[in-house]
């Protein structure tokens, strides 16, 4: 039962919010938070309301007036300016002065009660002067005296209805009985890399110059200019730790390793150490520091893999056997996903009685690598670990290091993926890898960008990973790799590729019907020879330059799909209102055949004036085109370039003045 109170204003349906405010929304520095809320009161009295916002921990709230929209719905926005956590809420009250002004406007100057009504207003203004300070208090007292004085009625009415008085009264309204929601809504404010990032994954051990030589961190440093030149700003490395020998997997995931087999990097832990140790053949901690420093100089963040699992040789297995699940025969339960068995990996038991020490140890792994200069982490299979752990650990880390970014590699059920984002993961892998048709892509991207998911779930699109060679890439050839890259890079602000494998269009599965690579780098060292007809390096660099040069592609907001009359052609746009940047992407989803058709652009969504021509600059293939209206024809040959990425310029005056922009 509610406690008795005198608050008459009602606050309902604050948006954005996640689960009633249980979880924070997400923004990056410089973004705005647009808040909508229902505010009303009983009877006919007017209400006043403000949006309150502040950095978490600050004593004072900043105020932004809420503006009435329609049907008791109000709106205001504010910009977040610091990384960390911020919060917002709404304050509302029945405003006697606003009610008085509203009713006064309806009265006639000859109303016999007009003098009494002006004196009522004078009392309200006098009361506000007692809440004000300094010159404003004096100003309000003077206005109160004038309203209640003997000056001509029309002059007093003009003063009463003056907007300056209304604005100053609003700043000192009587809020004694104001209504405020129970708890403020939280915001996690990240650095810009959380919203817009371009990831490149490689296995350092495959970079050795000589045959059968294990690659090192120094070899990775040598690759940085090439990776930076392609426009990547995050370099993700699979686990860099010692690899266990017990039950080590052989090439192509065979259960018995042969002499010289290097094993899977995810089989973490050996006599040299566990999650805070470095594989001896990669180099020393000093070498790793050199890599982090060199990458930073090249504009690249090093991202490390956090995989909370252990090989049978991991020090934790001997030191803390109670952190793992015991079988009836006394042995430790290895990982299974029937019919698959992973004898080389022991999963963590999150129901351990020693869970508090376990949690501290796992958080300690992340804190250790932060101390070594790492602020980006890709987390392996977080959906197989406890949600409360992630909420605690990520919150604990970001409290001291708000710049840290966590990417969730969870290909699992939608609600589980959403929960991981809610509890703190900065970015998330998605189902894009398996969304191929126009209908599938449109439905999925609409869900990601137009529903409440957009407030907390930041998608990171990967066309492939070391674990996943999608069926589409197995048969579509170079055109398929090109079209999927364009889709990933332009549909979302963050995307990544599994390095040389994608650059060279590697597409051979381990067996028909499987999504595993033949001769996968997960189990062996592979030598890559760049160049040749399938090398996409130059094309990837061009796409990433387009992303860097166009602010519209640096956010997931503003995505609009436009109709086409051919199901094999998809068309969508992004518009950045602040810069006026407009990008329209058209992709042929058929990697084997030329496709053509008509597209119908929503010119209003692009803020392009109907009836006037506009220039479309093809950023991929080059060339400029003058388009008229929303309906236009396209033809895309997958053997040439299966996509257009257009930048729409402002309207031209006429076809003769084609190069003159307003």
Would you say how long the chain is, in residues?
Answer: 662
Token representation of residue 412: 């699992």
CA distances from 255 to 183, 246, 343 (A): 54, 11, 8
Is the peptide bond preceding residue 16 cis, with omega within 30 degrees of 0?
A: yes
Q: Is 206 helix (H, G, I), strand (E, B) or coil?
A: helix
Instruction: Find tokens 């502040």 and name the residue.
Output: 54
| Bridging pattern class, strands 234-237 and 197-201 | parallel
Q: Is 94 helix (H, G, I), strand (E, B) or coil?
A: strand
Residue 182 is given by DSSP the state S
Find the farthest-apart pair of alpha carbons in the chain and give their distance in angstroms, rounded: 106
- Residues labelled as active-site residues: 380, 409
SS3 of the chain: helix, strand, coil, percent, to 5: 30, 25, 40
Q: Is 598 helix (H, G, I), strand (E, B) or coil?
A: strand
Closest-CA residue to 492 (of 594, 583, 394):
583
What is the Cα–Cα distance from 653 to 662, expressed in whole angstroms?
8
Q: What are phi and psi of 141, to 5 degrees?
A: -65, -40
What is the Cα–Cα distance from 609 to 607, expressed in whole angstroms?
6
Residue 582 is given by DSSP the state E
Contacts of 309 (CB under 8 A, 6+ apart): 266, 268, 335, 345, 346, 347, 348, 380
Sign of the torsion angle spanned by Cα atoms 377, 379, 380, 385: positive
What is the Cα–Cα distance from 587 to 250, expressed in whole angstroms?
40
Closest-CA residue to 186 (of 493, 453, 388, 424):
424
Work out the number of other CB atoms within 10 angstroms of the CB of residue 467. Answer: 16
What is the Cα–Cα distance from 33 to 85, expressed in whole angstroms?
13
Closest-CA residue to 218 (of 290, 293, 267):
290
What is the Cα–Cα distance from 584 to 595, expressed in whole angstroms?
18
Is the peptide bond preceding residue 627 cis, with omega within 30 degrees of 0?
A: no
CA-based R_g, the chain, Å: 31
Beta-bridged to residue 306, according to DSSP, are: 379
């Amino acid at each position: 039962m509610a406690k008795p109170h005198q608050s008459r204003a009602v606050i309902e349906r604050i948006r954005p919010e996640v689960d009633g405010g249980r979880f924070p929304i997400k923004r990056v520095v410089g973004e705005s938070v647009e808040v909508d809320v229902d505010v009303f009161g009983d009877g006919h009295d007017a209400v006043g309301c403000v949006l309150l916002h502040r950095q978490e921990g600050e004593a004072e709230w900043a105020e932004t007036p809420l503006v009435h929209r329609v049907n008791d719905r109000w709106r205001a926005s504010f910009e977040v300016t610091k990384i960390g956590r911020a919060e917002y809420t709404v304050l509302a009250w029945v405003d006697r002065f606003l009610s008085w002004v509203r009713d006064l406007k309806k009265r006639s100057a000859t109303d016999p009660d007009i003098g009494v009504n002006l004196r009522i207003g004078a009392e309200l203004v006098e009361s506000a002067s007692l809440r004000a300070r300094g010159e404003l208090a004096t100003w309000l007292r003077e206005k109160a005296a004038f309203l209640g004085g003997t000056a001509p009625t029309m002059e007093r009415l003009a003063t009463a209805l003056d907007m300056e008085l209304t604005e100053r009264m609003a700043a000192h309204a009587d809020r004694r009985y104001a209504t405020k929601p129970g708890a403020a809504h939280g915001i996690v404010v990240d650095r810009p890399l959380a919203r817009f990032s371009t990831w490149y994954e490689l296995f350092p051990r495959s970079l050795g110059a000589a045959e059968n030589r294990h690659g090192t961190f120094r070899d990775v440093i040598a690759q940085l200019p090439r990776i930076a030149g392609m426009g990547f700003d995050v370099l993700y490395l699979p686990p860099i730790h010692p690899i266990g020998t017990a039950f080590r997997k052989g090439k192509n995931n065979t259960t018995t390793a042969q002499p010289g087999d290097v094993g899977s990097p995810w089989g973490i832990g050996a006599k040299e150490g566990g999650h805070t140790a470095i594989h001896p053949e990669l180099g020393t901690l000093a070498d790793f520091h050199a890599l982090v420093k060199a990458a930073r100089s090249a504009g690249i963040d090093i991202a490390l893999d956090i995989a909370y699992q252990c090989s049978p040789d991991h020090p934790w297995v001997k030191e803390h056997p109670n952190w793992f699940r015991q079988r009836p025969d006394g042995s430790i339960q290895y990982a299974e996903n029937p019919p698959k068995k992973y004898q080389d990996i022991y999963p963590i038991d999150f129901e351990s009685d020693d869970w508090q020490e376990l949690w501290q140890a796992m958080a300690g792994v992340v804190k250790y690598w932060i101390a070594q200069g790492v602020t980006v982490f890709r987390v392996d299979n977080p959906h197989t670990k406890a949600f409360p752990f992630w909420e605690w650990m990520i919150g604990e880390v970001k409290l001291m290091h708000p710049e840290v970014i966590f990417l969730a590699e969870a290909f699992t059920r939608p609600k589980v993926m959403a929960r991981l984002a809610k509890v703190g993961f900065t970015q998330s892998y998605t189902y894009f890898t398996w969304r191929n048709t126009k209908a599938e892509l449109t439905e999925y991207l609409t869900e990601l960008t137009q529903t409440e998911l957009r407030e907390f779930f930041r998608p990171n699109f990967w066309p492939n990973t070391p674990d996943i060679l999608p069926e589409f890439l197995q048969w579509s050839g170079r055109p398929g790799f090109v079209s999927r890259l364009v889709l990933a890079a332009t549909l979302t602000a963050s995307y990544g590729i599994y390095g040389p494998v994608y650059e060279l269009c590697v597409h051979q599965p381990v067996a028909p019907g499987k999504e595993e690579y033949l001769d996968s780098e997960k189990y062996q060292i592979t030598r890559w020879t760049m160049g040749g007809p399938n090398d996409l390096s130059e094309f990837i660099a061009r796409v990433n330059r387009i992303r860097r040069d166009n602010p519209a592609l640096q956010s997931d907001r503003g995505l609009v799909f436009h109709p086409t009359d051919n199901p094999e052609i998809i068309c969508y746009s992004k518009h950045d209102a602040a810069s006026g940047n407009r990008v329209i992407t058209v992709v042929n989803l058929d990697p084997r055949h030329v496709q053509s058709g008509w597209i119908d652009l929503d010119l209003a969504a692009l803020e392009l004036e109907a009836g006037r021509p506009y220039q479309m600059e093809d950023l991929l293939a080059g060339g400029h085109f003058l388009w008229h209206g929303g309906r236009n024809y396209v033809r895309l040959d997958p053997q040439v370039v299966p996509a257009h990425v257009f930048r729409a310029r402002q309207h031209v005056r006429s076809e003769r003045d084609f190069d003159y922009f307003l």
